[in-house]
Amino acid sequence: MGELDRVRDRGYAVSYEGLFKGIIGAAAPIFMDQDKMEMCINAIGMTADCTKEELETRIGPLVKRYADAITEALTRI
């Protein structure tokens, strides 16, 4: 399974020192309707504060949960 397939399956993306040494991040999409991504929410941190495992199992799902809540609120407007 490729990285893009993993992102689609879990609903969020993670980066562990992808562009800059010591920097990590997780992002999830926000939709205005079910088929069109309008925005995203992300969390950025330092490798000194979070392991790759924590990023993938704790931070990523939390970012997705908040993105889903924002999507739900926006689609009710």
From first to last of its 77 residues, what are the pLDDT tens digits of the chain?
788 888 889 999 999 998 899 999 999 999 987 778 889 999 999 999 999 999 999 999 999 999 999 999 988 86
Q: Say what the pLDDT of residue 54 is.
A: 96
- The predicted model scores a pTM of 0.86
Q: Say what the pLDDT of residue 2 is.
A: 85
According to DSSP, the residues that pair with 39 across neighbouring strands are: 30
| Matching CATH number, 3-75, of 3.40.50.300, 3.30.450.40, 3.40.50.1820, 3.40.50.360 | 3.30.450.40
For every residue of 18-49, which 3-state class applies, written as one string?
CCCCCEEEEEEEEEEECCEEEEEEEEEEECCC
d(CA 57, CA 34): 25
d(CA 63, CA 67): 6
